[in-house]
Structure 1
Amino acid sequence: MAVKFSAQRKRAKSDRGTKAGSSSGALELYRQERAGARGRLNGLLRSLKTGLCGTALSGVAGVALAQQSANPASKLFTSSEVIFSSFAVGAIAAALLSAAWLMRQRGNLEAETEEMRSALSDAQQRISRYEALIADKNRRIVLWDAGGAPAEILGQLPAETGAPSDDREFLAFGRWLKAHSAAEVERAIEGLRSNARSFDMVAETVRDEVLEVQGRVSGGKAFVRFVALNNLRAELAELKIERERLVSSITLFQSLLDALEQPVWQRDAEGQLAWVNHAYGEAVEACSPEHAVQDSREFLGTIAREKIRATATSNSPFHDRVSTVVRGNRTVFDVVDVVGTTGSAGMAIDVTEAESVRAELTRTLKSHAETLDHLATPVAIFDREQRLQFYNQAFVRLWDLDLGFLESRPDNNELLDRLRAQNKVPEQLNWRNWKESVLSVYRALDTQTNRWHLPNGQTLQVIATAHPQGGATWVFENLTEQVDLETRYNTLVKVQGETIDHLAEGVAVFGPDGRIRLSNPAFRALWGLSEDQTRPGTHIRSIEAACALEYDKPDGWRHFGQMLTSFEDQRPSLQGTFELYSGIVLDYAVIPLPNAQTMLTFVNMTDSARAERALKEKNEALRKADELKNDFVQHVSYELRSPLTNIIGFTDLLKTPGIGPLNERQSEYVDHISTSSSVLLTIVNDILDLATVDAGIMQLNYSEMDIDDLLDDVAMQIADRLHENAVTLEIVAPRGMGTIVADQQRLKQILIKLITNAANFAPEGSTITLSSWRSGTDFFFSVADKGPGIDEDTLKTVFNRFSSGKGGKRSGAGLGLSIVESFVTLHNGDVKIDTRAGEGTTVTCRIPSAISARSIAAE
């Protein structure tokens, strides 16, 4: 028991030591210790009494039982005597022992009491000190018991804090503390009383005083201490409040920045990422902003970051547009980066769409400016300050103003004064009122349209439109030509009306509804109609019924009506001819006009039809005569060729010695017969060749021949004829001209015909020049003589058949040049004649070399 009590006492001392540390619980601790000591003493007395009774009874009972067991037969004492004796002996022994123990315990109690008195004295002294401290006007304590008793309030706070002295009003924190401080204090007290959660905080009064508020739990009680702070602590508290306010603001702003769709980042002094928002994390494809910071995922490229680091300062933040790749797409951002003492912070705004819109707007404005600049209509745009902002080239040409003056951006008032000074705008009786009326467009809601008649005779339609944002657009439409055209149109309409009325052709115009719009007297005369029958508005059915009497086929006018009133999109024109009962032949035409109108024209073709019939009959007779002539020529030519061949053969036979000698006259006659027969055979052959060409059955036998050999062969064949005419042939051609692909016989025939024709007109003793040259695949052959030349009238018919020139030594059939032209044309070439009176004639033939040797049918 002594050991247990001692342990309790030590625990009590420990509790006292603990509680003595708190000035508010010292008195209560002492009372609790005294009550505990009394309780323990009473318990010890109750245990002592129980122990003594048990000890006495057990001693007496033990002696009696021992005696009875030793001698059962002898019973010196009865049971009651034994029991009584045992009680007596036990009581005496217990009393002696209890007295001894009590005396010992009394000494211990007296020592403990003395100790308790000493502790109580110390506690009272501490309580006095604590009460002195509590009584300080800079502190106030509120205590709450665990049982829900009313709060106990100790101490006072300075009056300048605004804390009320009344306890009930003091507990109404919202009346003398600021709203946020009162809410925090009440929340903290609730946590202290319900969950024993201590707290330390700073509160602000409505008078802007700072209090330190501490909440603790001790000895089953909760107490809150309000302390008015001195200057230093007040400053610290204010700094704490300011820090909390700044932390709250930073948290709020970070939450705001985190909710933005634009990437935002913060870097430390070393340039490393310290914080990013969700948009930044999504832009760099990180799982979260924290992962983006941990992995140092950069949003901008290295060049952009170096540029920001090099240009951004604390006084001049970086602000520029940077292009980067986000989610695989090239994106343009408007980047702002601010540098501070502890690092930097930046924000990127996606302006890709805005940049695209701006670029599109720039292109659109440029396109509009270029379009306006190429317009023939003068345009000028003034801004909200009425200053010239834009003008096109047509505006410059219209007013012929100095470009320096226009580039100085004059206002509209100054521009009108300049135009008036140069006598380019209409002069007004009251210039000021007129100008104010013109410039009122800047205050008007609707577009203003005026017509200016300029001193130079031009007429302008001036359209001024005000802009919603201020300013106006001026459009100067030149109506001079339009007015002139209207005048001309009106005049033309009158002239056309007069012209149509005096036309010999009948004209009638119908509208889309089939009603006549106008008609001329010739139309009425051709169809025997009166003006009343053809007045405007009369339907074509009525005119059809009146005209059917003059025409034996009523379907004609019915067809006109169907065409005029049809709903087809395409209205074809129609032409034709018909004859009236009276024998008059009319050519008609149905012509679609604009606005769905249709014009009918009728021309009296009676005389022309008769003349046409006569011409057709004459042409048919001429055609038959020409066919008869061609048949005759071909028949005669073929029939003459055989006898001529026989004559020539027999003439040559007579010249042979085997027939016999001929006298001189006979030989001369035979030579004349031979020469005449040869000439006649040549004419017949020429006629046959022309007939073959005309029939389209002549074919060219192409072969490759050397030009030098061709020229030598032609010179040998024409030598006799040249000798007879006493002329000389000179060949001018470069050696090595190559070969030509052509019909050798026809080509020789061409050259011989040209040389023969030149020899016939060349004077005796003169020289005929045969020239030849080459240009690519074309070969040129030229024959020049020094004859009298060809006059203009003969030159027009020189290629006609049977057309012989005058002045030659011999009169031929006139087929030479015609054959030349036909053969050259068959070779796809051409013939040119250059002649001058008294200077001679030069005939040049161009003959292209065929690509391959082949026969071509003449067409």
Structure 2
Amino acid sequence: MMGRKADRDRRAVRRLGATTALLVSTPASAASFESLGTQDGLLVAVALGACAAAAATGIAYIVRNRALREAERRTARLLAAARADLHAVKALVAGDADGGIIWTAEETPHLFGSAIARGVRVEGQEIDVSPWLGTAAAAALATPLARLRSTGEGFVLTVPAASGRLRLEGRAAAGSRVLAARALPAEPSNASVAAVGGAALFAAAPWPAWVRDAAGDLAAVNPAFAAAVAAKSPDEAVTRGLELLDQTTRDAGVLARRGGGAFRGRTRVVSGGQRRVLDVFEIRMSTGAAGLAVDVTAEDGLRREIERTVAAHRRTLDQLATAVVMFGPDERLMFHNAAYEALFALDAAFLDARPTESEILEHLRTQRRVPEQADFRAWREHLREAYRAVEPVHDWWHLPGGQMLRMVATPNAEGGVTYLFEDVSERMALESRYNTLIRIQGETLDGLAEAVAVFGSDGRLRLYNQAFLALWSLGSQALGEKPHIDAVAAMCRPLHGETRAWARIRSVVTALDHRRGETLRLERADGRVLDGAAQPLPDGGTMVTFRDITDSVKVERALVERNEALEAADALKNAFVGHVSYHLRTPLNTLIGYAHMLAEPGIGPLTARQQEFLSHVRQSSDTLRALIDDILDLATIDAGAMGLDLRELDVGETLAAVADAVRDLLAEAGVRLVIAAPGDVGRFVADGRRVRQILFNLISNAVAVSPKGGAVTISAQRRPDALVLTVQDEGPGIASDVAETLFQRFEARPSPRGRAGVGLGLSIVRSFMELHGGSVSLASAEGGGTLAVCVFPLDVPSRREAAA
């Protein structure tokens, strides 16, 4: 029992020794004591004294057990208080404080620092800091200090002091409350800062600045002002009174200052040989005035350029056919062009009042110039979303009058909206008509019997009809992908193996310059014959057509073969007739010769009957010889061997020779010949023999149809470009549908005497006239009879060319 008590005593002594060692090992060493102040050292000394008292009490406790335990408890309390005071001191030292106040649990506040000790009054646990800080600062400190002492809430507060400023910091440390004070450097006064800073700013400002005295004269200027007025220094500018502003601007500044306000204006000056625009600011001061001029030349030029650009843009917009209207951020009208005013039939006075967009829409609604809406208000609010949009808004307006408008609402950078209205009514109508035409074109193409295919400028198939598919035995699926011309040619090759025709079509389709159409004929392997054509189109495309002409070709070939047979027969006939006529001429010439010989008186006298018979023989022989000559002439013309002996002929002599040749014919028929030719008709170039033959045949035909006792008239008329010879009879006339047939061979005109010729005379006439480059025609004459008109051109080269 006593051993256990001795052990407890030894442990208590060891604890007390450890406690004393702990105190010695703390920063309260000798060096630390020297670093503390007098009061701080006193505190530590108190703490050490307490520790010593605790040690003495412990020794006594060994003797007396009960007294020892009580002394140990008292020593623990003293040790805790000493440690709290030590931590508070450490807090003050760590905060680099110039002084402070410490509150412990039981003792009165401890004051540190001479200023605090002199200015703070302590009454128990309470203090009065107003003598130290002043009333205002003490009032500001009261609330945070109360919270610190009651709850331990720290704070930092800066308050003014007589010597400057104090930084007060409150904190809780080891159960104590500490208020540390640290002096701060004093802030410069506003007046001193303004004075120093203003002077520096005045001198360094890049803009001209000045100060005027009460009389309005310059009292001080900065270097920028001196440079603007071409002065060497600011003092020179003041001394010489060099003004930057004109008198009008200075007077305006005086008036503004007299009214008690500041002057602000814009003026133009010449500085450094250049025109400058300045924004002038001048304020009133107690000693005069101070001013500043800011060079806004670049900004003014830019503003003017922007104004000119905007004006040009507005003029351009006013010339556009597209309606343009601009609204500002307040939704009021800012700009509109003439197209907008005309499109919606708006009054200019109404628009000049700058109405809002809602007012314009309401006005247009009453005029039925906006789309009909079941909920107009909701539609209008939907339009206003453009003011909050980021991207342009597109919409279509279908107006009650049938117009269709394309609307684009573009938000502006400044918050407004620009509307573009394009009247697409006509374009939509054209598009509708175009689509209708395309459908009609497709139906038309499908209704054609010809095969049609249209290729684009890229050589690809664009259009085709059903006839094209059927003609080349193609499927619509094969052509649905718009194949190239080469692919189409390959599809058609099984029916037409020959490639040259499609190569010619391809050259037209793919040609870039000098595009010309092509026509061709294809004979397919199945015996069908096609007429093809490739025709360039204005848009760069090519239309290819195929027409099945198999039946026509068969008929054509049959007709050609028949015509060739007829021509061969006609040639054989002409050859036979010419051959026979040639061989008839020799015996006929012999017969005519003997007939003329018998009529000679030297042969012997003939009876009247013999002379009559001989006259008939001679007449018939001459007629037969003329017929044979005509046949031989026609044969020569058909063979292309007829030539003309062109000479200059006298018209009067030619007509007289013809009249002498037909004298016997006229006498036998009892018809008179009348020659109506002016004496100045002149001369012309022709083959005299063929001209007399032409007139002889025409007069012979006229005599044949003229009644006995009638007359045949020959006339000549000279024109600027031709000589016209006419022969007119007094017969029954001729129908217009019969006149042309009389120029065909072996077509004879009925004679009143019951006899008709063989029908070669007029055919010979036309042939000879064509050789002369002229023409001949028959027509009924006025007053009865038939008029034959022969026109000989006076152009000699053309007649020579015709004769050749």
Q: TM-score, normalised by structure 2?
A: 0.49
